[in-house]
A = this chain, B = another copy of it.
Amino acid sequence: MDRSAGSPRVTAALEALRASGERVTPARQAVLRVIDAADGSDEHLSAEQISERVTRLEPSVHRATVYRTLTALTDAGVLSHVHLGGSATVYHLVAHPRERAREASPAAYGLGDGHPHAHGHLHVQCSICGRVQDAPPDVLDEAGRQLREALGFDLDTTHAALLGRCSDCAGAAGR
């Protein structure tokens, strides 16, 4: 009805969703709308925050649906999530919806996410103020190289945020 909202990314995501065989519902549209808006303003929302905003946008959508939707959209490869150290998991649109999710490897440990090599961007989080910022994707290149050599470990640079202190907090509180 109102695909006027204006974000080409949301539209693309909806198409990708439909292509994945998933249905396009108001709840899903609202979730995508909210995440897209946050992406635009460089915010990184947790499931709870998304649920909150979705409710504001579409009061009938239940919290549980948001959780289920986030999972569904992630499985469909439309969304991607990043684990923040110590706090929640945040979601954002995948840059190239074209990148379909692989058959989710069940991952015995419960950490599975079907995005072996998601090429999203890198995140760093301030442990003082909690702010999450994006970082140049090549920052971990060297680390990845070393880990591969030393341990044969294949580093996934986009799936977890690095912790530290942002410029503001490091300057202020930090010593």
Contacts and interface: CB of A to CB of B under 8 A. Distances in A.
Interface of A: 83, 85-87, 89, 105, 107-113, 116, 124-130, 133, 135-136, 138-140, 142-144, 146-147, 150-156, 159-167, 170-171, 173-175
Nearest to A125: B111
A116 B163 contact: no
Q: How many copies, total?
A: 2
Nearest to A109: B130
B135 A151 contact: yes
A78 B130 CA distance: 25
A143 B85 CA distance: 17
B109 A129 contact: yes
A160 to B, nearest CB: 3
29 contacts: A86-B89, A86-B111, A86-B113, A87-B109, A105-B128, A105-B173, A109-B126, A109-B130, A111-B125, A112-B127, A113-B127, A116-B165, A116-B174, A127-B156, A135-B147, A136-B150, A139-B143, A140-B143, A142-B142, A151-B166, A151-B167, A152-B167, A153-B165, A154-B165, A154-B174, A155-B164, A156-B163, A156-B165, A162-B162
